[in-house]
Structure 1
Amino acid sequence: MRLVKIVSIITLCTLASACSWFGGDKELPDIPEQQLYDEAISALERSEYQVAVDKLQLLEARYPFGRYSEQAQLELIYAYHNNYEPDAASAAADRFIRLHPSHENIDYAYYLKGLTAFEQDRTFFEKYLPIDITQRDPGAALASFESFSTLLNRYPDSQYAPDAQKRMVFLKNRLATYEVHVARYYMKRGAFVAAANRGRFVVENLKETPAVPDALAVMFQAYTELGMTDLANSAQEVLLSNYPDYDLKTYRQENKSLMETATFGLLGGAEEPVPPTRAINPKAAEAAKEKAKQERSFFDKITFGVFE
């Protein structure tokens, strides 16, 4: 009996220590704060951003009130940004702004937050292929514009203000062009009130952008379709007064046939009339029409006359 107890105790001790044998719970060594910070900065300088993230996170966890805690939070935003983790970078920037509203480098947090959203909107393919990003959802562009705007309003003398201002010009142009794309989509759908409102938003809120003349043209076209003559004439007058070379055309909604819609324009489209090259005898023309009625086309025959 005593031998059984001894064997049981030995077995339990063996099982308890098995976790450590196979790499179970391992305690991280107690690394000094200075060493952790230096290792994180060295990783950033070598562009090893994931290593830097791990070091900075460990530094914050081990020394939350240390002398490098605030600087480590700033460096963590930068590390996330360069490691292509936009959500983590934005969250880290918001946390730093919330915890240190009067920090001397808070303008850098706003700048990095705006820069992260700015580059989040540009994918790998858009950098090397001619893809029109103005037709995409502008959520990241709006977030970037807001961060840069806050930076310029609160810290106009910041060293990051000039670059933020240049990026805001680009973002403003992009947002205005997106609004015009949406307005034209509404025009095609016959939603003329929504189209006019989109155009007016660009004219009133996104002035001095290249999309303003297109927005005025949409307003003119939408108000014309709605029968609002005074507003249409006003938009036309403003457009032609400021952009006299603009090719303004009255909008006409296309009425596509069922066959043209089903075949994506390959069949059933209306053909432009060809002007005659000689005088046509009226009697001969009438006879030709009668003959055309009697001769059914192949398409008319196979569709039993449904489409013709």
Structure 2
Amino acid sequence: MRVLPCLMLSTLVLLTACSSKEPEYTTEADLYNAAEQQLERSQWESAIRNLNSLEENFPFGTYAEQAQLELIYAQYSSGEPDAAIATANRFIRLHPQHRNVDYAYYMLGMSSFTKDKGMFERVMPVDTSKRDPGAARESLANFTQLLNRFPDSSYAADAKKRMLHLRNHLARYEIHVANYYFKRGAYLAAISRGRYVLENFPQSPAIPDALAVMVQGYYLMKMNAQAEEMLEILKLNYADYPALNSKGEFNQEYMYNNGQSRWLAYLTLGLFSKDEVTGFDTRALYDPQFQKPSTRVTRVN
């Protein structure tokens, strides 16, 4: 008597399992149309499977090249920047004269821009300018390549905005490194970082801090003539820099405890070390819009 219920249960489980499977697409058009619908619904994993299947089964078909471009977008959107980079590079290698190859270059830049972003950063704000700048440099190089090859691309304007952000990002990283060298007593190395910002990122908001780094470093090395020279440049261009007093003199104590008096160490019973080097970081004054641009992208035109 128990056989029938068991058979019915087995049949129900089998039907449920079958109904949960994705439909099988046998033609190139079916695969492409299914992937298009999945992309519209942000069903990235399903879209990636169908686009990969299309490429494997119809490598020279009508939709093959467009599917590869759509695959780059799907991989990027699903949080797989390394896969998107690999697919974009392959598309550029195989179709260097394609009418939409500029999109592949653009997505190379975007994927590099986001590949070091973790889940934590998507939830909490993180100062990425303190991280290894490798991904930022790679992204900047990719966007530069796009503009050099396709200056009239529809993606050029957005690429320029992101390049500006990346240059500011890299300049700020150099200031962070200079601050670290001050902590280690490596004053010449700190000066070199400040000079690097002046020479390579002349329009960035990090310039006033770069000048202050050089002034501080030269003073600490007892190279007063060079310190005074850089101080004159700082006063001429950034008279309101917080390390300058009302007489235009440079406060060499500014880089300790964010410019707060060392008496704070005593008033707080040592909570703040009297010799704590916090360095130079005036983004709040000179770069109030120091924000990450959106990582959203559009599908290929």
Cα-to-partner distance string for 1:44-82 (whole Å, 9 max, x where unaligned): 112111111111111111112222221111111001001
**Match for 2:98 among 73, 95, 103?**
103
Cα-to-partner distance string for 1:109-167 (whole Å, 9 max, x where unaligned): 11112112223344444345343222122222222222112112221111111111111
Cα-to-partner distance string for 1:170-229 (whole Å, 9 max, x where unaligned): 222111111101101101111112111111111110111111000111011112222333
**Match for 2:136 among 141, 159, 163?**
141
Within a 5 Å distance, the mapping from 1:13-162 to structure 2 comes to 31-162=26-157
After TM superposition, give the deviation of residue 269 of structure 1 in Å.
6.5
Q: Which runs of 5+ in 1 are unaligned?
A: 1-27, 255-259, 271-308
Q: Which has the higher contact order (CA 8 A, sep 6+)?
A: 2
Once residues 97 and 129 of structure 2 are traced to their aligned partners in structure 1, the CA distance between those partners, rounded to angstroms, is 36
Shift of the 189–97 alpha-carbon distance from structure 1 to 2, 3 Å rule, reads same
Once residues 173 and 110 of structure 1 are traced to their aligned partners in structure 2, the CA distance between those partners, rounded to angstroms, is 22
Kindly indicate whether the alpha-carbon contact (under 8 Å) linking 2:25 and 2:31 is maintained by their aligned counterparts in 1.
no
Match of 2:285 in 1: none
Shift of the 33–269 alpha-carbon distance from structure 1 to 2, 3 Å rule, reads closer
State the identity %. Answer: 51
Match of 2:203 in 1: 208
After TM superposition, give the deviation of residue 267 of structure 1 in Å.
10
Kindly indicate whether the alpha-carbon contact (under 8 Å) linking 1:89 and 1:113 is maintained by their aligned counterparts in 2.
yes
> Could you state the TM-score of these two structures normalised by the residue count of structure 1?
0.69
Once residues 51 and 168 of structure 1 are traced to their aligned partners in structure 2, the CA distance between those partners, rounded to angstroms, is 33
Shift of the 124–268 alpha-carbon distance from structure 1 to 2, 3 Å rule, reads closer
Kindly indicate whether the alpha-carbon contact (under 8 Å) linking 1:221 and 1:251 is maintained by their aligned counterparts in 2.
no
- Structure of higher CA gyration radius: 1
Match of 1:250 in 2: 252
Once residues 56 and 267 of structure 1 are traced to their aligned partners in structure 2, the CA distance between those partners, rounded to angstroms, is 57
Match of 1:184 in 2: 179
Cα-to-partner distance string for 1:237-276 (whole Å, 9 max, x where unaligned): 211111111133225998xxxxx9xxx9559969xxxxxx
Q: Which runs of 5+ in 2 are unaligned?
A: 1-22, 244-250, 257-264, 276-301
Aligned length: 235
Does the residue aligned with 2:181 lie in a helix, a strand or coil?
helix
Which moves more between the two structures, 129-138 or 186-195?
129-138
